[in-house]
Structure 1
Amino acid sequence: MPASSRPPVASDRIDRLSAAPMYDQLRRIIIASIDHDALRPGDPLPGEHRLCEKYGISRTVVRQALAQLEHEGIIERVKGKGTFVARPRTSESLAHTLIGLYDEVAARGGTVLSDVLRHERVAADEAVAAALEVDPGSPVVVLQRLRHVDGEPWSLSTTWMPMDVGEITLGANLRTASLYRMLASHGFVVTHGVRSAEATVASHEQARHLGVSTGAALLRLRSISREASGRPIEYFVAHHRGDRSRFEFHLHREQSHATLLRIDRTGEASRASTLSV
């Protein structure tokens, strides 16, 4: 049945006598409208001004409803363009596995292309030196890439490698190649490590690269990967678009262990406890 001939959405109004908050009523109305009109990801939705007029509510109420819908991944708001039905988020297992984005996406039939923004020898600062277990000032190779998944900006990652590991990548075409596969082909095989995921917001530079608004939600991965001897061969920090990806953790009774970290006001993490889940 064409959308124009369908019956109106049930309860397509704000009930001011209801115990339900007005923003939640509007949230439910918008969800029902998306289903009723068979809207698809990327289709436009009414803006704040139009919603205020139609339902006789304040902009504060509208913004609360839209913020909740955006948090739930139902809509997305693009600065200067409007509000749209959100595209579904793609599940990733990068937070708990030792595969890279290239192999993660390839496994589900997608494609990854990388814009190499920086690839050079640098002196390790204290944070990088601590992660790679080298002396501060030691030469390392830094690789910064903007990763595109199926043609869309997906993550901004910076990888540091000890000089003997990273030098094999210098001059290589990493636009379409897997870094992990390249390292493995030269005998540097990642066997274990520690990886963390946390919420953050986009800086101006990150937003520019990823095509989101400054302050938009991002997921930040930090990882130290080691070879069988225990030596770190890679340290990376990657920022993923929060509106395009989510991380899944597959739990097993025998293997599911996690470390709970306490974050202080400076952003430093300290070990709080170890959990078995």
Structure 2
Amino acid sequence: MATVRKAVPRRLVRLASLRAVSTSSADTFPKQVKIVEVGPRDGLQNEKSIVPTAVKIRLIDMLSEAGLPVVEATSFVSPKWVPQMADHTEVLKGIQKFPGINYPVLTPNLKGFEAAVAAGAKEVSVFVAVSELFTKKNINCSIDESFQRLDMIVKAARATNTAVRGYVSCVLGCPYEGKMSPAKVAEVSKKLYSMGCYEISLGDTIGMGVSVVDSSVAGLGGCPYAQGASGNLATEDLVYMLSGLGIHTGVNLQKLLEAGHFICQVLNRKTSSKVAQACSKL
């Protein structure tokens, strides 16, 4: 009796082939990977149409329901520069705070930090870049000046028992300066760590042994100051790949796909997730 097989899209077949990783290779992978979901902040901040506050809150709650351990909720930046994040206080106060899930917010300066803490933030994110030109384009100051700003934030965070996570941009290359020096990356990262950041996110990094990965639901977002950049890694694709490698994330892929579908419908755009695209064809 012949076996009936359902046609499976090639993309899914390729992803599924990750399960065939040899034992020797699998031994080098971490047992668990923490995913930092940045879709509600980095993913939405450059959308031209203002996303309603209620939609942002629902998206974050759906991502929490999917089991993501960290969901970057919003950015306490001036509405003049990032209008999409003008409702940061309402968003942070409106989301459900799931036990065991962290909801960091981006705070580029002391004023933003103070507003974030007043709104109930328990963790904040700060950022620097390895490139002088990128720093100038991004926040209109030098790297040294950006560290002076961060120093005030970290000191205030220490006084209020607020956790601080650091971002380092352009670790492999800069759209304005080209290739970056590994020594410079190490210098900037070490400085952030010594200031008090409990974790450092290295933008653009790849490789074995990475156990904390930033990604964005549906592949939303990406830096507007890096022309030609491919954008953020889709969280759905990351979870599917890690699952195929036998690496634990604690994330429910089905619920994650539902969250991606929800926000893409609101934004009236197609998902950038290859897994979501393949599943929609089944």
Q: Give the TM-score taking structure 2 as reference length.
A: 0.23
Q: Give the TM-score taking structure 1 as reference length.
A: 0.23
Higher strand share: 1
Give 1 or 2 for the bigger CA radius of gyration.
1
Higher helix share: 2
